Amino acid sequence: MTALTEQAAHVLLSLYERGQASPVETTQELLSRIEQLNPALNAFCLVDEESALASARESESRWLAWRKHRLTGSSANRPRALEGIPVSIKDLILTRDWPTLRGSKTIDPHQAWTVDAPVTARLREAGAVLIGKTTTPEFGCKGETNSPLTGITKNPWDLQKTPGGSSGGAAAAVAAGLGPLAVGTDGAGSVRIPAAFCGNVGFKPSYGRVPAYPLSPFGSVAHVGPHSMSVVDCALAMNVMKQPDARDWTALPPDASDYLMGLHDGVAGLRVAYSPRLGYVKHLDPAIESALEACALSLEAMGACVESIDPGIEDSLDISFGLWVAGAASLWRGLSEAQREVTDPDFRSEAMSGLDISLKQVHDFNHRRGVLGSTLRQFMTDFDLILTPSTAICAFAIRQAGTAGDYDAQTMLGWTPYSFPFNLSQQPAISFPWSLSPDGLPIGVQLVGPMFGDALVLRAARALETIRPVQRPRMPQHQK
């Protein structure tokens, strides 16, 4: 049998149900693999073996009791939705008993850590085995994962390439078989960029679908979503993550639907807007453009109605960058001089840009954001999905924090023009790995749905998965 560390979460649940694997066995194998590979990848900044094994033993007891009752014909509560499934949490998200340092030297790790964020709480309640925290750039400030606190995180497909960011640790961990599920956040592409660069599935739900607390300092562009190596696992995770939490006053009304229902219904009859450049993207890797065309043809062959059309939006790079750095400036104002001295120069550059933004500019950005959102809402009345690349380039070379020069809009987001518009509009979007570049790096395609159309996006991605299963990287020999 394939190693347990390479099994999808839904497959592990099936194995546990039949008694062919156990949560303890899975967790032990996973911890051993993390010990072997994490020094090279730097995907995890915290691993709690003792807590993970204790949680796994509790899950194993539940599965044993359930199987025993089933054999004797007596009734017993079925184990919980993610019983015994290893999950990692991005180090921007609060976890009880573990420090949440947000990739920053400015945060004191020796304070009381007594609160779980909503997503962490829901995962615990569902029986997930929490393994540890994954790396992030400082405050999640960029689309690559490096920081003065945790150093450089690397891509499992090529250790000289970035995994993207800011959920780079989460994506690298899942792609490398260091856990089937990981939780990330996405404020301008931070789930989808690393999913594209690392060749896994990354889902940004509709804003507010997964409750958050505390809310992001970067405002209402920030979503919480899963990473996985399977669309089925993504739906499985979302069923848990979307459960309500009263602490998030911006959350959507509770959604009791099961995202696994209808997941395999295919794309026949769906109206897909095929937009390789969104009407304004000038620079796109030819290999990515070719891959997207092949994906469009595949959707058409499966019965979707694919039309080449742009959604009629303007390039919103300045809007996204302006609102983002205004949030960075707000964080900066709350730091002491001593804290400012130890920040990432890239974050500092963003904050300095934000300090120059006036209230009138913020108002204007939000007005233009409203126009963009309205345009896309109207466009989606004629289409079920938009198909775009996930990013305009494949993974680029790793670099130390602070070596990119002036962290202006182009440096920060110019190479990922397909991600941030859909943070501004708050629509659900998924990055699905479609193929490899001539250099052997993953190429991701993006499916964007209408607001609240989360289940539809997952369904379409699952249709792609049936014809193009997700590939795992061949780990470099010196890591093994």
Query: Catalytic residue numbers?
Result: 90, 166, 190
| 74: three-class secondary structure by DSSP | coil
Q: Are 293 and 429 in contact (CB under 8 A)?
A: no
Q: What does the block give as tokens for 61?
A: 């007891």
**Dihedral pair phi/psi, residue 202, rounded to 5°:** -130, 125
Question: Among 21, 463, 73, which Cα is nearest to 270's?
Answer: 463
End-to-end CA distance of the chain: 19
Alpha-carbon span 145 to 126, nearest angstrom: 29
The count of residues in the chain is 480
DSSP-assigned letter for residue 43:
-
To which H or E segment does residue 467 belong? helix 454-467
**Dihedral pair phi/psi, residue 76, rounded to 5°:** -160, 150
Beta strands 385-389; 271-274: pairing state: parallel
Q: Are 435 and 217 in contact (CB under 8 A)?
A: no
